[in-house]
Structure 1
């Protein structure tokens, strides 16, 4: 903020105020924790950027709270796609304590829920963390953490769902069903108060009183429990009033209250956005924080089929938009924060791997070691590789990472829209014939996965399918670092657990990632995608070529996802005898896909099994329909939330953990995902709508894309819309009934099988009030058989000039590996040697370094590898990758050595090349950072390391272990050249 404005907009006395504000936002590089002090005019700096190796995602997400002492921030964080899987959402997130002064990060080995209420900070330096319950695991576990040390001091296991836990006295206070309960560390539970709903916004003040909120019929009531009695403090509209905690045990009511009563001594009402986060003294309210790529995108001509540009990887974090308000002056402040601009001294500790990496089961280590022996020299396609294969040992998903013979094309969002436009109309006539030179048999994506004819008639609206793809994968088929038009590793939901995480089946509180699904590509196709021989009970694997087509080709992947979606629609229609419909059930209307989207994510429990057993052999006792996890009544979803993205609030996408799956998808259907491309003419990134928008007859109808309660201009999601006695669910009530001792949540069943199988009408005049798909962009007949061509922004020449005639080139892959990328003339040169890899190992002999290593179909010859620089004190030895280029002929004399640096993914400033000479190893340290060429464009280039004397076959080695970093700077491995010379 401009210093000249501070006196006018900030609270009086800001220069001497101890007020501290915290904001969080994630991008692909990590989850950024920002802090600003009033005395600095709220100039933001980055305390920490939290991430984990091997977790490839478009965006890290999470929750955070500042402890009452103001000395630490407790953070829960995870990849965005964890919100799409029930078990990962309930127990898969990471946790860390961040020191406010230094930025030093202490990571906990325990993994916790991503639910909106987690973590829960107290008035002192302790924090409550929750490991959640789901349909598979029906108990909750609460952890009490001392943030200074990052140690778990106490824990307790409770049957059923527990939410909104915070430290209280020597134990916890939390919500269990419609009761506010205290819990001792010995597991003793006492009901403090009953509520009209599941209590939320639970905070303990300095005097030990407990403030909490309840909801009913679109209204919120704030209540306070102290000294054995509970009283009402305030009332307002749901979504307009909330409870927040500050420093030193202060509690604030934030927003607009329709009724206010006597407040406790350290509690006050502040104006501001109810969904915001309050600073320690209540002098600033952070309304939202989100990466710049979540701004509303420009909506272009709906019939424009051109591609404007592709995303550009800068090698660093995205800018963050922070919106805030000053309660004292009602001033609205907007900040654009660069996470790399002002950083805490210990910023790099945020990317040190989670300590769970060091707690490895011995049996898993033995299994992996055995698998490594079998896969060391052969790719999945049978091609010979280097002495130590980059392919993950013991992989169980169908298509492995880092197989240079199996590279995945990253589509442009316009290509995705083209494919959906054709597939939903069943008119795609494209056949894949040696597509991308991947040596697969010819196939037709639509014929391979034909969409089912819908029961009731009609077809899938484009915006529904595009909304699913946006939520599942950000419209990506390949991993994050692969730009549109490039090729690289497959995008797989949870591939790495097999080689990193605790696989002890007796540890009920650790996520066993090896058992997570193998969701591939843009639709995260899961079924049938495990490697043959690695199927789980009841699963079957597709033939290998079919699996490869799904993993490698975005069109085939979309076709498979569309087939799954139409199957779910028909399952619901048939099983319910056409009675379970949303609104009027017309397939052309977007809202009417609510149930099918729900089933796409978490499956359909057929009526025929209502009196049978589930997959675990446990009785269903009459339950059938849609699962409990995504039910809006589940207490893990944020009360008072508005419809996802409603009113173009794209900052919602920074916190997707607040909404269940179908609400997010319908949000993406109503408000198109934003994609960012680099515009060289403007020299900046430009935001663009990823696809054509759907339309409604009125904006209020759009806001009600899901069931809502409308109070004046506020739209709050109706949490009770799918909660009735018919599915054993208890909605909010004003009767203050005590919860049964055997239940712990709105679901009254101890097995959480409050499954929904009834119709729901929230738009009685659906023909007028429901949404419609947007304009079909690729509707002309030519697009039936013509694929939208690949963008060529990163199609640099595969042969880079600059070598002297006669130089001998050694590439990073064998000559048998073709260049899969278009526009790559790879003839006229000879690969004159071999490239080998060596990976670091942990104490159990496992290879987590492979999770940090990737390939890209670019660079010299159309292929490059890259890893991440780490120093010795930050797990550099375990995560080390060494690449060695060896010439296949002898040089007995001097030769000049060149290394090829591709346009992108060489960002380290300390690339140390070890040249094996006649006199021993001679090291040269260079920066791999790109340089600007003509017109500001980056380009591939050769760099000379100098002239060296050799005796025998020359070798050059490069390691990711250097003095620079902790995993935030990439190290690229491309080609090396040797030029014999007479110069000394």
Structure 2
């Protein structure tokens, strides 16, 4: 009975999770084909690596994700640890933005096991629990094999053991009265398949494959998992476990958080022995070659270590270590992730895909080095989700379900609904005004050609106020601007339009789960979410919500089209979460610290409710509540799904943005409040830092003279009355008894030690800033007079991508001295049949191209054509009588962005229904070079004798799956 959040989550930030690498002696993996030069090799390797580096078999594998997929990289010490691309993993069945993942390497070193997913999975509780894909990659050849779908997107998944066996987890159920359990999948990496799935009737975390069976943590205890899925408790480590690894000799190493201290223990002979201690956030456990383990960080040995356990000194959290421990990978950061973390309001640059920065430390020489790596051609796995039956993944059957149309009230691919993608200055201005109730300037009638009457954003959505538990207004308290900006950065990277659009474009609205699934091969309208725009507003945007009782139609259109109106609505939804917590009856109100809404720390509970909902006191007697109520277990910092060794999100490094699933949702928002910051010494802020409090107990920020946001402790929301305790590693029941309610004090706001807003724009002090476009608007009309040999006595025919050119909404003047025609798009194969709805999923409109409108889809071939074939037809209305013909030169406009197919085939048909086509010209749809950006340009398709009814056809049939196939304007120029 999870209460439905009125906002849903999207994040356009790259994720890369890097886990351990293990090798057995004498079994170094074979190299991929090609020279072993690599990129970013360590300089002066004789000093950095030691004299024997040329004969070393040490190898390391790491990963990084971006819009092109999740990339694996491999480096060998004998090549001075120069990097090569091993493989790229993705699924073009899922078109929702950048990818992230986790990788471990089996003990033989021959196979990497990878869990990968769209990064937005970290924002959706259901997808975090069971929405990721899993694959095995041969480290010698790069060949990748998909082995599972619907697995957990967590910091401990996957888990490799000393042999070629690995484990995967899938979280089952939720925190309702029915409770949460775990599927434990066994992977035979050598065979490339899942060999067994066991159901564990508990929340099992940090699994570990060992020579004598499988282990993990349940309710704070180390357990062994039987073939049936039953578990037997072996003992309780000291503190909250967050890392478990087995050795080839049968030892089990466990690292736990005991307060602010990390404790490493070896389990053997039926008991735990403490081996080392260190700071909670500065000691990690990895695997080494030969089935050994290594503790990395600020490690203080408690006793003589077992022979199969060693240590490496490091002053920060790291990604992984090489098989012999000669190299520490301190972190990986893609160019897209770095830009998104440093400037979260800026759209992802598609051209930056594939570029990654890998920071390493050579252990022998204590030498730090940073490799700039461009992803090279490598084997690519494109997972076909249809290969996995329903139930193996978080996806419905591949069919239309009960509903035959989306309940989302504003349609996709509707030319009358094309929101503008705002730029950072506009978003910050709108938020600074919205939280103070001054976002009241009028939008003109027919704003962005939407056909709606004039309105003002906060005339349409007047600012609500925060209230105390007695219903009184909370003084001057309101949503802090920096908090709202952080939420929008986390939710959508501050995008009102589709993530395919960059600032200055118009496009389809950004709509969460319009079709009920993120798989472009399936439609389940019954599960459509209908979250719109920059704030992912769902309230009133679905026909299931009786929307006309809340919104009139202009309000719905405004939420979809206008980022200002959307922000005004989303601020009110956040306020409603605060007020909902305060509306609980005494003594069950949910409050923090001094309960003043001006302080950002006091919004932690509202953020919790915002993401995963509140189970109110009135709902306690519902069947799945069991008499309990409060905030659910998923976002409780005590939940062992999040590592107890974690620091505050983004507090140490921008690379934290690549692993958002390591933190609860409220912690992520608090991290975005503290950001953006550039660790390279450049102060490039997309929005202002807040006004930090003067808390001397908070880690001093190294770039600005401020302290950070005060965060609650791991167990501040863990109380024995809710079945939660530190001794039990959280809440072992993992059902509705784990729901938390009440009051705690974790920050002294009264003493000025909490964080408040810091405005860039004074409320009501100026007009909306202009959009800072990524690409200039191309308003230059086609110049037919420049065509040599043109017949000046006959007008040209211009075929636009919209029949009603009045819907071109970027402000370009539309020429009127041309003849017309029509443009048609047909989806599916055969066209217009059952495949058409699926073709529409992968069809997009964009305010780019000739005078500001185009369509694009992606390539399709083979079996995908039945659902995803798209044929565009340009049909000029030539001034010819039946039987007449005339010579025309055909010019196809190619957009500055939105088209990438290098061998687009334009089929030119002489007359209506004539199957004898001219030789079809092949055109590179990639943009012409224009500095760092492409530019709009015309391409001559050739000169042909055409008759009445002639047309030009372009299909995505045969284009590469990841290629953008663009449909832009076409000019038919009569020739003498």
- Shorter-chain-normalised TM-score: which range? 0.7 to 0.9
Report if aligned partners of 1:201, 1:243 keep a CA contact under 8 Å in 2: yes
Partner of 2:935, secondary structure, is coil
Deviation at 1:33, TM superposition (A): 2.2
Aligned length in residues: 900
Distance 1:297 1:562 in 2: 23
Alignment of 1:551-590 (within 5 A): 551-575=560-584, 577=586, 580-590=590-600
Residue number among 256, 270, 279 corresponding to 1:237 in the alignment: 279
Distance 2:384 2:801 in 1: 28
Partner of 1:588, secondary structure, is coil
Deviation at 1:11, TM superposition (A): 4.5
Report if aligned partners of 2:401, 2:526 keep a CA contact under 8 Å in 1: no
Q: Which residue of 1 aligns with 2:479?
A: 460
Distance 1:437 1:255 in 2: 58
- TM-score computed with the length of structure 1 as normaliser: 0.84
- The change in CA–CA distance for 1:240 and 1:846 in structure 2 (over 3 A counts) is same
Report if aligned partners of 1:119, 1:127 keep a CA contact under 8 Å in 2: yes
Distance 1:286 1:554 in 2: 41
- The change in CA–CA distance for 1:170 and 1:807 in structure 2 (over 3 A counts) is farther
Distance 1:431 1:229 in 2: 71
Partner of 2:782, secondary structure, is coil
Report if aligned partners of 1:109, 1:356 keep a CA contact under 8 Å in 2: yes
Structure 1 vs Structure 2 CA RMSD? 3.5
User: Could you list the per-position Cα deviations for residues 476-500 of structure 1 after superposition, in whole angstroms to 9, with x for gaps in the alignment?
Assistant: 1112220111111222223344584
Residue number among 920, 923, 934 corresponding to 2:920 in the alignment: 923
Alignment of 1:99-138 (within 5 A): 99-133=138-172, 134-135=174-175, 138=180
Alignment of 1:117-266 (within 5 A): 117-133=156-172, 134-135=174-175, 138-169=180-211, 171-266=213-308
Residue number among 351, 355, 358 corresponding to 1:322 in the alignment: 358
Deviation at 1:409, TM superposition (A): 1.4
Alignment of 1:319-718 (within 5 A): 319-339=355-375, 342-344=376-378, 346-347=379-380, 349-350=381-382, 355-356=387-388, 367=400, 371=404, 394-433=405-444, 434-455=446-467, 456-457=474-475, 458-498=477-517, 500=519, 515=527, 517-530=529-542, 532=543, 534=544, 542-575=551-584, 577=586, 580-610=590-620, 612-613=621-622, 617-621=623-627, 623-647=628-652, 649-672=653-676, 688-698=684-694, 703=699, 718=713
Residue number among 882, 891, 900 corresponding to 1:898 in the alignment: 891
Q: Which residue of 2 aligns with 1:794?
A: 775
- Structure 2 unaligned segments of length 5 or more: list them: 1-39, 468-473, 702-707
Alignment of 1:298-313 (within 5 A): 313=349
Deviation at 1:113, TM superposition (A): 1.1
Q: Which residue of 2 aligns with 1:385?
A: none
Report if aligned partners of 1:297, 1:687 keep a CA contact under 8 Å in 2: no
- The change in CA–CA distance for 1:576 and 1:291 in structure 2 (over 3 A counts) is farther
Distance 1:116 1:637 in 2: 7
Distance 2:403 2:597 in 1: 51
Alignment of 1:775-794 (within 5 A): 776-779=759-762, 781-783=764-766, 786-794=767-775
Residue number among 831, 844, 847 corresponding to 1:857 in the alignment: 847
Structure 1 position 730 matched with structure 2 position 705: no
Structure 1 position 888 matched with structure 2 position 931: no
Report if aligned partners of 1:76, 1:119 keep a CA contact under 8 Å in 2: yes
Structure 1 position 81 matched with structure 2 position 100: no
Deviation at 1:129, TM superposition (A): 0.9
Deviation at 1:88, TM superposition (A): 1.3
User: Could you list the per-position Cα deviations for residues 160-198 of structure 1 after superposition, in whole angstroms to 9, with x for gaps in the alignment?
Assistant: 211112333475211111111111232232222222344
Report if aligned partners of 2:131, 2:393 keep a CA contact under 8 Å in 1: no
Residue number among 47, 59, 62 corresponding to 2:101 in the alignment: 62
Deviation at 1:421, TM superposition (A): 0.8
Structure 1 position 758 matched with structure 2 position 742: yes
Distance 1:461 1:476 in 2: 20
Report if aligned partners of 1:369, 1:845 keep a CA contact under 8 Å in 2: no
- The change in CA–CA distance for 1:529 and 1:52 in structure 2 (over 3 A counts) is farther
Distance 1:238 1:539 in 2: 53
Q: Which residue of 2 aligns with 1:821?
A: 810
Report if aligned partners of 1:287, 1:324 keep a CA contact under 8 Å in 2: yes
- The change in CA–CA distance for 1:105 and 1:406 in structure 2 (over 3 A counts) is farther
Structure 1 position 773 matched with structure 2 position 768: no
Report if aligned partners of 1:440, 1:545 keep a CA contact under 8 Å in 2: yes
Partner of 2:752, secondary structure, is helix
Report if aligned partners of 1:138, 1:752 keep a CA contact under 8 Å in 2: no
Q: Which residue of 2 aligns with 1:382?
A: none
Deviation at 1:102, TM superposition (A): 3.0
Report if aligned partners of 1:242, 1:274 keep a CA contact under 8 Å in 2: yes
Report if aligned partners of 1:310, 1:793 keep a CA contact under 8 Å in 2: no
Partner of 2:224, secondary structure, is strand
User: Could you list the per-position Cα deviations for residues 618-660 of structure 1 after superposition, in whole angstroms to 9, with x for gaps in the alignment?
Assistant: 2432x2221111000111011111111115x211111111110
- The change in CA–CA distance for 1:936 and 1:65 in structure 2 (over 3 A counts) is closer
Report if aligned partners of 1:155, 1:185 keep a CA contact under 8 Å in 2: no
Report if aligned partners of 1:582, 1:761 keep a CA contact under 8 Å in 2: yes
Partner of 1:557, secondary structure, is helix
Structure 1 position 972 matched with structure 2 position 966: yes
Structure 1 position 954 matched with structure 2 position 955: no
Distance 2:566 2:399 in 1: 35
Q: Which residue of 2 aligns with 1:832?
A: 821
Report if aligned partners of 1:469, 1:523 keep a CA contact under 8 Å in 2: yes
- The change in CA–CA distance for 1:719 and 1:365 in structure 2 (over 3 A counts) is closer
- The change in CA–CA distance for 1:570 and 1:239 in structure 2 (over 3 A counts) is same
Deviation at 1:255, TM superposition (A): 1.1
- TM-score computed with the length of structure 2 as normaliser: 0.85
Deviation at 1:830, TM superposition (A): 4.2
Comparing 761-770 with 172-181, which one deviates more in the overlay? 761-770
- The change in CA–CA distance for 1:399 and 1:156 in structure 2 (over 3 A counts) is same
User: Could you list the per-position Cα deviations for residues 428-453 of structure 1 after superposition, in whole angstroms to 9, with x for gaps in the alignment?
Assistant: 22222221111123332213222322
Deviation at 1:337, TM superposition (A): 1.8
Deviation at 1:900, TM superposition (A): 0.9
Deviation at 1:69, TM superposition (A): 2.0
Comparing 940-949 with 634-643, which one deviates more in the overlay? 940-949
Partner of 1:419, secondary structure, is helix
Comparing 564-573 with 750-759, which one deviates more in the overlay? 750-759
Deviation at 1:473, TM superposition (A): 0.8
- Structure 1 unaligned segments of length 5 or more: list them: 301-307, 372-393, 505-511, 677-685, 706-712, 734-738, 740-744
